[in-house]
Amino acid sequence: MFTSLVLLALSAVATPTLGASYSQSDSFSGQGFLSGFTHQAIADPTHGRVNYVDQATALAQNLTYASGDTFVIRADDTTVLSASGPGRNSVRLQSNKQYTTHVSVWNLRHMPQGCATWPAVWEVGADWPNQGEIDILEGVNDVAPDQATLHTSADCTMPASRSQTGTSVGNNCDTAATGNSGCGVQAPSTNSYGPAFNSAGGGFYAMERTNDFIKVWFWSRTAGNIPSDVLNGATSINTDNWGTPFAFFPSTSCDLASHFGPHSIIINLTLCGDWAGAVFSADGCPGDCVSYVNANPSAFSNAYFDVAWLKVYQ
């Protein structure tokens, strides 16, 4: 019996911790973004008034800047555009690695602000929408709060009532059924997005993805409840200690395993386009979105991300 108890104890010690504990697999800061991510010089899939440039161009024009623990990507703020020419130079980065079950944590000091801006931090599969999309940080035209959204193929919905602090703005994640709106959740705090976010010195966004659920959290830089492992960028984390997320997407009526494939991480800034352009006037911005972008380069002096770091845990 003693031998059996010893074996049981050893077995318990040897069993890996399951569930909410993760170890850091990747850390990006400063120059690390230049080697860990690719500048995507592609046509904007959301039809924005931008011209995404390659890394050499971005560095030469100071649209991408990396030094120490500072990494900045921004839109051009000096050029008056021709109506018949390409859009305003901007940056879209995609991670060179892909991830399935993981946690990503962003430490952001500043996000793009201003009319026409549409900044986003998100994750997406190569076969869209069949491998899914998770928007972590997204909004337009300085209208708070942040919105976290899933975009999927058919047969993926969310329960109307679930454990989150945010407000659902749609429970059908199917892009075809929702005009690509997906199933979004708005964060409860206005300082989760735009000028109020920047005035507070930024903050932290975190997303946990498993086959059972997807969760998104936000903590303002000035919040008193930032988990220590998030605040310090620890090498191991336990999401069970992070409190109720503002967005919770359970697998109750959506088989997450089949709707989400390996994801690349993306951070980008577009202007106008399918969302920001469509609500430009309704959001209190002047005139026509594309004309505004063309004629007012100085309006984009604050249209930049300043990233302290991104850490990924698996």
Does a structural domain hold residue 30? Answer: yes
Overall average pLDDT of the 120-135 stretch: 98
Q: Kindly report the CA angle at 303 between 298 and 305, in degrees rounded to 5? A: 150
Residue 6 domain flag:
no
pTM over 0.85, yes/no: yes
* Residue range 201-253, pLDDT digits in tens: 999 999 999 999 999 999 999 999 999 999 999 999 999 999 999 999 999 99
Determine the average pLDDT of the residues in 150-168: 98
C-alpha 244/C-alpha 227 separation (Å) is 12
Domain that holds residue 231: 18-313
- Listed range (14-18, 88-92, 111-115, 197-201) with the worst mean pLDDT: 14-18
CA atoms within 13 A of residue 96's CA, in its CB half-sphere = 11
In a domain, 4, yes or no: no
Q: Is residue 3 part of a domain?
A: no
Q: What is the predicted pLDDT for the residue at 19?
A: 54
**Averaged pLDDT for residues 23-37:** 98
What band does 107 get if pLDDT is binned at 50, 70 and 90?
A: very high
- Please give the average per-residue pLDDT across 159-185, as a whole number: 98
The CATH number of whichever domain residue 135 belongs to comes to: 2.60.120.200
Return mean pLDDT, the chain.
95
**Residue 115 pLDDT greater than 60, yes or no:** yes
Residue 189 pLDDT exceeds 90? yes
7 in a structural domain:
no
Question: Which of 307, 311, 243 shows the shortest CA–CA distance to 70?
Answer: 307
Average pLDDT over residues 12-39: 82
Q: Domain total for the chain?
A: 1
Active-site amino acid positions: 133, 138
The reported pLDDT for the residue numbered 181 is 97
Residue 1 within any structural domain of the chain: no
* pLDDT computed for residue 36 by the predictor: 98
* 163, part of any domain: yes
Check residue 13 and give its pLDDT. Answer: 40
Query: Does residue 299 belong to any structural domain of this protein?
Result: yes
